[in-house]
Amino acid sequence: MKNPRRKFLAAGIGVAAAAPAASAAAAGKAKVQGGVRMGNLFFSSGLTGTKAGRDVGAQTHEIMKAHKANLEALGSSLDNVLKVTAFLADVRAEKPAFNKAYAEYFPKNAPARTALGGIFPDDETRVEIELVAYIP
């Protein structure tokens, strides 16, 4: 199978296949750079990209590069992302610019995604992105 997400699902790995763990340590839960790893899954923290200025496209690139680096440090990649949640300060006006930048990181077999409006504590933050990925 060319799509690693399909391989992950075909292997029966998921919530229904997981046995309840007696403790976080027994389940392999560990705090790692940018999120939490539990077994073969990585749950990222929401990342923002305000160093790029107020441009949503530039912020999206900054965030996705950080997620890519975090996944590679874990031995994974953006090809193994299963789900993305994106929060946009002005979803109606900024979603086209967000989509254009986002598409560069998932040119084929994009993961499941939800994009919705969010309220941030400052005016600089235009987008926040979190993801769930499989670690082979």
- Could you give the CA distance from residue 101 to residue 81 in angstroms, rounded to a whole number? 16
Consecutive H or E run containing 8 = helix 4-10
The residue written with tokens 């292997």 in the block is: 11
Q: Which amino acid is at 48?
A: T
pLDDT along the chain (136 residues), means of 10: 51 41 57 87 96 96 96 95 98 97 96 97 97 97
- Domains of the chain by residue range: 4-11+33-134
Pick the CATH number of 4-11+33-134 from 3.30.70.100, 3.40.50.11540, 1.20.1600.10, 3.30.1330.40: 3.30.1330.40
Say if residues 5 and 111 touch (Cβ distance below 8 Å): yes
Amino acid 17: pLDDT? 36
The pTM for the full model equals: 0.81
Where would I find the H helices in 12-87? 56-73
Say if residues 120 and 89 touch (Cβ distance below 8 Å): yes
